[in-house]
Structure formats: structure tokens, C-alpha cells
Structure 1
Amino acid sequence: MNPADRERHHERASEEQEPDYRFTLANERTFLAWIRTALALIAGGVAVVQLVPEFGVPGGRHALGVLLTAGGGVLAALALRRWQRVQAAMRRDVDLPSTRLPALLGITLLAVAILVLVVLLVP
């Protein structure tokens, strides 16, 4: 980026204006989707502890419940931060910030699934 472009970018970034309401609502819908996923993880953690019979590994059920519940809490916090960053970028009319949240969630859920399979296969 040449110096003139950088200066224009900096000027735009320092000026805040409300974005088109449709973009704000789309950002909120995305945030709510992340919150629903976080709530599902928390509910899954509670369900594992309360409804699933003991695993072959002592304490495995509680460990899985804690892992899912904590993961849901962390996801909710990350979703809030993401919503704030996107909203701020739209107000400043700058590029939206990149995110690793979907990849992080996918990798984490894959690891949990593998962990559950291992625990279930242990006699």
C-alpha cells in the first residue's frame, strides 16, 4: 500500500459511522449462531454428566462434561469478541477482521470426538 492509500485508510479508520442496518443485523445473526453453538456445547456437557452412564475410564464422564461446558463458555466469549470486532470494522468502513474461530471449533470438536471414541472403546 502506498503512503497516500495508507493515509486515506487511516482517516477512514478513525471516522466512525453507523453501518447499514442490514449489515448490523447480519452480524448479530452470526453472533447468535455462535451463541447457539456455545449453548449446545454447554447443554451437551450437562447431559453427559447427568444422563450418560459411567465410562470404562474412571472420571471420564465428568472430564468430558467439564471439557464440553468449558468449551461452550470459551466459545461464547470468543463469539462476543468477534461480534465487537466486526461491528467496529463496519463502523470504520475498513476490511473485516479475519477469524480462526471456525477452524478452531472444527479441530476442537474433532479432538473431542476422537477422545470420546477412545474412551468408549476402552473396556
Structure 2
Amino acid sequence: MNPADQERQHEVAGDEQEPDYRFTLANERTFLAWIRTALALIAGGVAVVQLVPEFGIPGGRHALGVLLAAGGGVLAALAVRRWQRVQTAMRRDAELPPTRVPVLLGITLLAVAVLVLVVFLVPGP
């Protein structure tokens, strides 16, 4: 392919180019790590509802299970969006987009841990 054809092909692609495969694979590994975390949250929600005895607060077990499962679903959606944004930035040779997902996840898990401690401290019926 001559240089003029390569330049036209580059322009048609929207000024995007395929990044080094190592970066693409690293982005995929990060995505899969977020998906594993989401699956763990969903599994934790199922386990709480199915295996944990009723808390002192009526409906608390189900509320906690739903909260964990919903958090896992939200995290999975955020992981897909993050993977897409990073892949697009790499193709455009742009700076990687910032993310607040780790901070959001940390704060959410801290809130869940505090909620669990409060539920444990409430005496049963």
C-alpha cells in the first residue's frame, strides 16, 4: 500500500489507530478484574439472602442482599464503560480518561460495612 492510500485509510478511520496489543490486553485484564469484583458482589448478595440467618431488623437480610447484587450490576456497567473509554483514548493516542470508580467502590463498601455492623449490633427478636 502506498503512503497516500495509508493516509486516506487513516483519515477514514477517524484519526484512530490500533494501539500496541500489550496495552489492549492490559486494558482487557483491568476490565476483567472489575467484572470479577462485580460478580463477587452479586454472589455475596445471593449468599446473604440464601445462607445468612435473619437479622434483628426485619427485611435487613434481603435489603443487604439486594444492595450487594445491585452494586455488582452497577459496577459491571461502569466497567464496560471504562473499558470502552480507555480503548478509544488509546486508539486516538489521547490521555487516558480519569475515573472515580475506585473511590466510589471504596466508599460504597465502607457504607455497606458500617450498615452490616449496625445490623449486627441490633438485638434479634
Fold similarity call, TM over 0.5: yes
Task: Tell me the secondary structure at the aligned position of residue 72 of structure 2.
Answer: helix
| Structure 1: 4+ residue segments shifted above 2 A | none
Paired-residue identity, %: 88
Greater CA deviation, 54-63 or 14-23? 14-23
- Please identify the structure whose Cα radius of gyration is greater: 2
Residues in 2 aligned to 1:31 and 1:72: alpha-carbon distance in whole angstroms: 14
Residues in 2 aligned to 1:120 and 1:67: alpha-carbon distance in whole angstroms: 17
Task: Tell me the secondary structure at the aligned position of residue 98 of structure 2.
Answer: coil
Residues in 2 aligned to 1:15 and 1:113: alpha-carbon distance in whole angstroms: 46
* Residue of structure 1 in register with 2:66 after alignment: 66
**Alpha-carbon deviation of 1:90?**
0.1
Task: Tell me the secondary structure at the aligned position of residue 99 of structure 1.
Answer: coil
Residues in 1 aligned to 2:94 and 2:35: alpha-carbon distance in whole angstroms: 25
TM-score (norm 1): 0.89
Residues in 2 aligned to 1:115 and 1:84: alpha-carbon distance in whole angstroms: 33
Residues in 1 aligned to 2:73 and 2:114: alpha-carbon distance in whole angstroms: 21
Q: How does 1:1-123 map to 2 (within 5 A)?
A: 14-123=14-123
Indicate the RMSD between aligned Cα atoms, in angstroms.
1.0
Aligned residues: 111
Task: Tell me the secondary structure at the aligned position of residue 17 of structure 1.
Answer: coil
Higher relative contact order (Cα pairs below 8 Å, separated by 6+ residues): 1
* Residue of structure 2 in register with 1:4 after alignment: none
